[in-house]
Amino acid sequence: MSKLKDKVAVVTGGARDIGRSISIELAAEGAKVVINYNSSASKAEETKKMIEDAGGSCTIVQADLTTMAGVHKLKDATVAAYGDEVHVLVNNTGGLVARKKTEEVDEEFFDLLVNLNYKSTFFVTQAIRPLMGDGGSIINLSSLAGRDGGGGGATLYAAAKGAIMTLTRGWAKEFGPDGIRVNAVAPGMIATKFHDDFTPDEVRTKVAGMAPLRRQGYAEDVADLVVYLATDKSAYITGTNIDINGGLAFS
């Protein structure tokens, strides 16, 4: 029996890479999935088709979640598609944008990166939270960078992901009395466009070789963990930041 049959799941940044895998696996477990995207329209359409071809239900919503208008657009579209109850929220929106040393960061870049990685998570959750009840699950995407400070030129990104970890703990305490669980996953080296764009191949090979499992992770690895946290199989887990990095680092 599908673990999320007839549940509604919202996935921000759900069009490609890790977000796509999460969306597909949630749908495979019976969830009705709302996929948010900003600029990846063709990828969102592809993901929607993949879900529907497999018999799932999916709605895609274009919205810039660094703005309050975008946050409210996502909420309104979710209610219009599936009603006023959400059971799972996956805050996956984020990105490195560019590698910059501290002296290279100006106010515009600072605001862009923090808004993308932190503000979006905060205000999407603020908007969707009233639609969630007992048994609801919120899963935030953090990063190994949030634990170790990140690689070269990623300090600001790492700080934002560290803030997501703290936010997860605080929300677990705040929302727990209403039966809503809040957890985060902290991926390490995952084979995605993120590292295609920002990490040289030789660095990826070196890092993968340092992990006890001797490989990079895959988007599906992260999605499996997210789906577990979304279901009642993890009913007594909240406030955690779970590492998924092949043993590269331990919390």
Tokens for 44, please give them: 């969102």
* Annotated domain spans of the chain: 8-244
Place 199 in a pLDDT band, splitting at 50, 70 and 90: low
**Order of strands across the sheet that contains 181-187:** 57-62, 32-37, 8-11, 88-91, 137-141, 181-187, 241-244
Active site residue 118: no
17-28 and 219-230 helices, crossing angle to 10°: 50
d(CA 67, CA 73): 10
Instruction: Kindly report the average pLDDT of the chain as a whole number.
Output: 94
pLDDT tens by residue, 47-96: 999 999 999 999 999 999 999 999 999 999 999 999 999 999 999 999 99
How many helices (H) and strands (E) in the chain? 10, 7
pLDDT of residue 123: 98
Residues 6+ apart with CB under 8 A from 176: 182, 238, 239
pLDDT of residue 211: 81
8-244: CATH architecture: 3-Layer(aba) Sandwich (3.40)
Residue the block writes with tokens 């979640």: 65
Mean pLDDT, to the nearest integer, of 177-202? Answer: 84
pLDDT of residue 198: 62
17-28 and 41-53 helices, crossing angle to 10°: 20
Q: Which helix (H) or strand (E) holds 28?
A: helix 17-28
Place 194 in a pLDDT band, splitting at 50, 70 and 90: low
pLDDT exceeds 70 at position 169: yes
pLDDT exceeds 80 at position 200: no
pLDDT of residue 195: 65
> Three-class SS of residue 34?
strand
pLDDT of residue 230: 98
pLDDT exceeds 80 at position 130: yes
| C-alpha pair distances (Å), 110 with each of 14, 63, 65, 154 | 24, 21, 16, 12
pLDDT exceeds 90 at position 43: yes
d(CA 71, CA 56): 25
String of b and e for 37-58 (b: at least 16 CB within 10 Å)? bbebeebbeebbeebeeeebbb
Place 202 in a pLDDT band, splitting at 50, 70 and 90: confident
| C-alpha pair distances (Å), 185 with each of 39, 161, 168, 230 | 24, 11, 10, 12
User: Which is the catalytic residue, given 37, 82, 118, 157?
Assistant: 157
Tokens for 154, please give them: 């990623």
